[in-house]
Structure 1
Amino acid sequence: MDGEKRNYLAGTPSGALERRSATIALGPLEVLVRITHSGVCGTDAHDRTANCGLGHEGVGLVERIGSAVTAVEAGARQVLTTAQSCGHCAECIAGYRHYCHRSVGQKYGAEEHGTFCDYAVRHQDYVNPIPDTLESKHAAPLVCAGITVYEALLAANTQSRDRVGVFGLGGLGHLAVMYARAMGCAVSVFSGSADKKEDASQLGADEFHVVNKTSKPPAVNNVNVLLLCGGDITDIGLFLPLLARRARIVPVVIQTKPLTIPYMEFILPGHRLISSLGATRENEQEALRFAARHSLQPWIQEYPFTEAGLTSAFAALDDGAIRYRAVLSKELGNAFSV
């Protein structure tokens, strides 16, 4: 697609791009977006040495559109999505373009676009409108973390009668609590430490339990849907005492370590393990509309859209000090433009 030829836009954040904005060539179906905010995700921290454009939670204003664009108007606020796909395979036709065999998003550490920049070019099918009541700074984390947990809840066929368990109260986990609670579910938070109990309560969870390798897991036996939002999960057996019969488990973290599943203890109660990463375009847009409809606001820490601001955000991520998503904002400053 045309967007695959525009990698330099993401890889070179520079004031020169802003000065040249009027002369940046667009394909017939491409749009030029002036970035105003970008979330800083843990994946960005992992990819700092991957030789790719960083940033995939971009929000901005459409400055110009290609000659054949019909889905987007100039001046509209949009969020930018990252995956490229063929558009013709069975997965793409069904709406699951993030599972396309040609999707760049399938290559861990190889996001093809970035949003730590002034401008980005996207095909019109890879931007999504932002509801009027949703602030741009809150929309940014929803582009990745929000749509990921929203899609996971749908993949597990979550119903309002379910109790949703969330393991790991971080960037993904805190949004999972928000979405599940807004869906009418009871919510239990399971964390490796006790210091997030008050946060879990403020987010709407009605139960909080400490679960780690050194403590005996609580035998609550009431969780119907369990989202694994913490890092380096290697043993499903740790979570089995938490589950109701026929529970659905959805890992939503990226890791390279293998996952061990106790066979009979998992099979006999009828549990299911469901893979889910990313979202269909329909659910990308619905996740934004759902957040606006229920006034969901990610807990964010804002940083200036500068080199120093990005450095500070990365340092806080490395230290585990973000509660719970970092967002670069040009309203606080921008050194990438002149």
Structure 2
Amino acid sequence: MMNITKAFGTKAAEAPLKPISIERRNLSPNDVEIEILYCGICHSDLHAARNDWGGSTYPLVPGHEIVGRIKKTGSKVSKFKVGDLAGVGCIVDSCRDCDHCHHGDEQYCENGWTVVFNSPDQKYGGTTYGGFSEAIVVDENYVVKVPDTLDLASAAPILCAGITVYSPLKHWGAGPHKKIGIIGIGGLGHMAIKIAKAMGAEVTVFTTTQSKADDANRLGADHVVLSTDVAQMSNCPKQDMILDTVSAKHDVNAYLNLLKVDGAVVIVGLPNQPLEIGAFNVVNGRKSFSGSNIGGIAETQEVLDFCAEHQVTADIELIQASQINEAFDRLEKGDVKYRFVIDMKTLTA
């Protein structure tokens, strides 16, 4: 027996998203059912819906920046009670047995983790459906607590954009007396500015446009460099780490040359085309070009608590479910400051 749930999804790559009905499993002993209040829209949702990366299966319901309230709990649930605020990000299951799972790095699970949507459900069968829906059922071990001091709508993007930048900033030691560069000011980049500043770092933002440069200052950047200006790039102080949030093809070698010895450019954006690295640009100075992928469940809880402590949330545009297709079109054009978030009560209104 399954539960029929209202959702907003698509049945083909070229088709618009529209209201559909999906099936959610009944609660297992360790499951919670979450009434979804808000769900952010990430570029990955757009790519998956339109099969830009290949491998999408339909019908497809996107959404992996989920904030809601516990509606029901399974018989063995101990972390949550009905009425609690809860969040779900990208990961809804993993093998739980490998070294990475044991160390809280479920995103690197050796046996493959289960994505919240468009992923084969290895435990229950079928395909997972995401947060563009009225409710979701998830094992409590893959659910995080959302502090009630955060604005819920603007906290939703922390579940993906926030953790995606927090994890590498923490791993590479962002903090006081560290110079941290951030390439790009979008959904990820604007969160990176806020979080790196809250960590105590000196933040330099690299952008291609003056309008974004002005916004970087508003968001708290200490310095802004127009990457198209040769003089500004050549006069930029050396950085300890540069976080690359750009998802389009671009030249990373210019940024490798702005690193201190032992510095790293860390990419979290996902360009469709390969990036080329000049060997001399990493050999000179023992530099690294690295990557990072979201974060584990414990670290996702950590970033939510960190953001609550420092009152960090995303800059959002709150939309109704009926505006999702328009939001996808605008997102493709970069026309958003800086995250669309769906008010999910409009799904059933």
- TM-score class, shorter: 0.7 to 0.9
Quick check: 1:69 aligned with 2:104?
no
Distance 1:130 1:107 in 2: 21
Aligned pair partner of 1:103 in 95, 113, 137: 113
Residue deviations 1:134-179 (CA, integer Å, cap 9, x gap) = 1110210100000110001012122311111000011000000000
What does residue range 1-338 of structure 1 map to in structure 2 within 5 Å?
Answer: 25-49=26-50, 50=56, 51=58, 52-83=60-91, 84-100=93-109, 101-105=111-115, 112-212=128-228, 218-219=233-234, 220-304=236-320, 306=321, 308-330=322-344, 334=346, 336-337=347-348
Name the SS of the counterpart of 2:303 in structure 1: helix
Letter in 2 for 1:104: T
Name the SS of the counterpart of 1:235 in structure 2: coil
Native 8 Å contact 1:85 1:104 kept in 2: yes
Gaps of 5+ in 1: none
Deviation at 1:90, TM superposition (A): 1.4
Native 8 Å contact 2:116 2:130 kept in 1: no
Moved more, 244-253 or 101-110: 101-110
Residue deviations 1:122-141 (CA, integer Å, cap 9, x gap) = 00011100112111102101
Letter in 1 for 2:315: W
Moved more, 155-164 or 199-208: 155-164
Distance 1:282 1:276 in 2: 16
Moved more, 50-59 or 178-187: 50-59
Letter in 1 for 2:64: H
Moved more, 26-35 or 154-163: 154-163
Name the SS of the counterpart of 1:149 in structure 2: helix
Native 8 Å contact 1:173 1:229 kept in 2: yes
Distance 2:3 2:331 in 1: 28
Native 8 Å contact 2:242 2:266 kept in 1: yes
Distance 1:16 1:175 in 2: 33
Deviation at 1:256, TM superposition (A): 3.2
Distance 2:117 2:35 in 1: 26
Name the SS of the counterpart of 1:250 in structure 2: strand
Name the SS of the counterpart of 1:175 in structure 2: helix
Distance 2:69 2:117 in 1: 28
Distance 2:112 2:163 in 1: 21
Distance 1:324 1:7, change over 3 A: farther
Gaps of 5+ in 2: 10-17, 51-55, 121-126
Moved more, 287-296 or 5-14: 5-14
Distance 1:327 1:218 in 2: 35
Name the SS of the counterpart of 1:150 in structure 2: helix
Letter in 2 for 1:132: D
* Count of residues paired in the alignment: 324
Structure ranking higher in helix proportion: 1
Name the SS of the counterpart of 2:218 in structure 1: helix
Distance 1:14 1:126, change over 3 A: farther
Residue deviations 1:214-260 (CA, integer Å, cap 9, x gap) = 85761224211100011224532121332222212110012332221
Native 8 Å contact 2:256 2:287 kept in 1: no
Native 8 Å contact 1:217 1:239 kept in 2: no
Distance 2:129 2:167 in 1: 22
Distance 1:303 1:313 in 2: 8
Distance 1:229 1:79, change over 3 A: same
Name the SS of the counterpart of 1:148 in structure 2: helix
How much is the aligned-residue C-alpha RMSD, in angstroms?
A: 2.7
Identity rate of aligned residues, in percent?
A: 28
Distance 1:264 1:109, change over 3 A: farther
Moved more, 194-203 or 60-69: 194-203
Native 8 Å contact 1:155 1:274 kept in 2: no
Letter in 2 for 1:95: G
Distance 2:81 2:191 in 1: 30
